[in-house]
Structure 1
Amino acid sequence: MTRAITLRSRPVGWPTKDDFELVELELPPLREGQILVRNLYMSVDPYMRGRMNEGESYVPPFELGEPLRGGAIGEVVETLAPEFRIGDIVLHDYGWREHAVLDASEARRITPLPGVPLSAYLGVLGMPGLTAYVGLLDIAAFKKGDAVFVSGAAGAVGSLAGQIARLKGASRVVGSAGSPAKVAHVIEKLGFDDAFDYKADGPVVEQLRRAAPDGIDVYFDNVGGEHLEAAIDVFRRYGRTAVCGAISVYNEAEPVCGPRNLFLVIGKRLTLRGFIVGDHADRMPDMIDEVGGWLQEGRITFEETVVEGLENAPDAFIGMLRGENLGKMIVRLA
Structure 2
Amino acid sequence: MIRGRPALSSLVLLSAGAVLLLSMAVALGIGAVPVPLSTVVQVVVRRLGVEGLGVEGLDVSLLDDQIVWQLRMPRVLGAAAIGASLACCGAVLQALTRNDLADPYLLGISSGAAVGAVTVIVLGVSVVGLVGSAAVAAAGFVGALAALVLVLVLAAGPGGSLSPGRTVLAGVATAQVCAAYTSMVVIMAGDADAARRVLGWTLGSVAGLRWGTALSVSVVAVVSTLLFMTMAGQLDALAFGESSARSLGIEVDRLRWLLMVVTALVTACLVAFSGAIGFVGLVVPHVVRFVTGPQHRLLLPLAALLGAVLLVWADTLARSWVSGQEIPIGVVTAIVGAPFFAYLLRRTPAAA
Q: Choose between structure 1 and 2: higher helix proportion.
A: 2
Higher relative contact order (CA 8 A, sep 6+): 2
TM-score (norm 1): 0.27
